[in-house]
Amino acid sequence: MFKALVVEKDDSGYRTSLQSIDEAQLPEGDVTIQVSWSTLNYKDGLAITGKGPVVRKFPLTPGIDMAGTVIESSHSRWKEGDKVLLNGWGVGESHSGCLAQKARVKGDWLVPLPDKFSERQAMSIGTAGYTAMLCVMALEKHGIKPTDGEILVTGANGGVGSIAIILLKKMGYTVIASTGRLEEEAHLKSLGAAGIIDRKELSEPGRPLGKERWAGVVDSVGSTTLANACSTTKYAGAIAACGLAGGADLPVTVMPFILRGITLYGIDSVMAPLERRIEAWGRLAELLDISKLESNTTEVGLEEAIAVGPQLLEGKVRGRVVVDVNR
């Protein structure tokens, strides 16, 4: 038996609780993992609260991220004792996930834990940080250089935004952070932001084509914020869009695309191929300042994660939350 969060839905409603699970209830897979640490992302908040159609089957253990040790494997790439991590692949949505002391998954979904990171540190990064790296890689491969101008990061206090700031600063870019929590200015500047703007500047409907400002953008908000980011990006600039915390709509015109030649990159971390995942985690190991990562991380126990879910959705959580599944 092991402990796990379980999401259930029946005639009495939707609920998440801490339960004891028999290993026989684990889903199909060719690798079984002793989970050491998990984490909470926006999608996990939706799964825990039921405020979004994330969970596709019931009952199910939420949690899209984990770091841990292989305890049983019939997969050719993995053996007992290997340190691994997992991000996405529908785990915590249609396949029971990682907010548990044990998990069983497909070996093809796993990435080796980089030597630089402990299991806890890897979950301080999690899908949010891995997605931030994919966004930064997209801007880099587009050819945007630090000398080209400012990079806008929206949703800056969230997991993606905060780690994007750390990475971009390390790479020499000038970062402007957009946030609704202006009281967090000192924290965001400690991560590497050169300046702060109120998210209200981007969340209200703007002009189809605004004054050029941004060489590039990392956006986790979507909706009007993303539309305004597009309309104010410089000629031949690029936006990496990875989230919809502000909404799934995109009220933008074609003008920024056909008159300024900007590029909008869609960043998917859930189904990204193994090669890209390994590249992203390698770059994270190369660039991420672990001391800044620690100041950006809060730790909770497994049952405590239930209460954090709604806080994530309300934008009340700073940076990253790691979950010690053994307490």
Q: Domain limits of the chain?
A: 2-113+296-324, 126-266
* pLDDT at site 315: 85
- Angle ∠(220,170,37) on CA atoms, nearest 5: 60
Q: 3-state DSSP call for residue 266?
A: strand
Give CATH superfamily name and number for 126-266: NAD(P)-binding Rossmann-like Domain (3.40.50.720)
The Cα 218–Cα 195 span in angstroms is 15
Alpha-helix residue ranges (DSSP H) falling in 171-287: 185-191, 200-203, 223-231, 255-259, 274-287
* pLDDT at site 293: 87
Tokens 């009952």 correspond to: 59
pTM of structure: 0.94
Q: Which CATH class is domain 2-113+296-324?
A: alpha beta
Per-residue pLDDT of the chain (327 residues; tens, 9 = 90+): 999 999 999 999 999 999 999 999 999 999 999 999 999 999 999 999 999 899 999 999 999 999 999 999 999 999 999 999 999 999 999 999 999 999 999 999 999 999 999 999 999 999 999 999 999 999 999 999 999 999 999 999 999 999 999 999 999 999 999 999 999 999 999 999 999 999 999 999 999 999 999 999 999 999 999 999 999 999 999 999 999 999 999 999 999 999 999 999 999 999 999 999 999 999 999 999 988 988 899 999 999 999 999 999 998 898 999 999 999
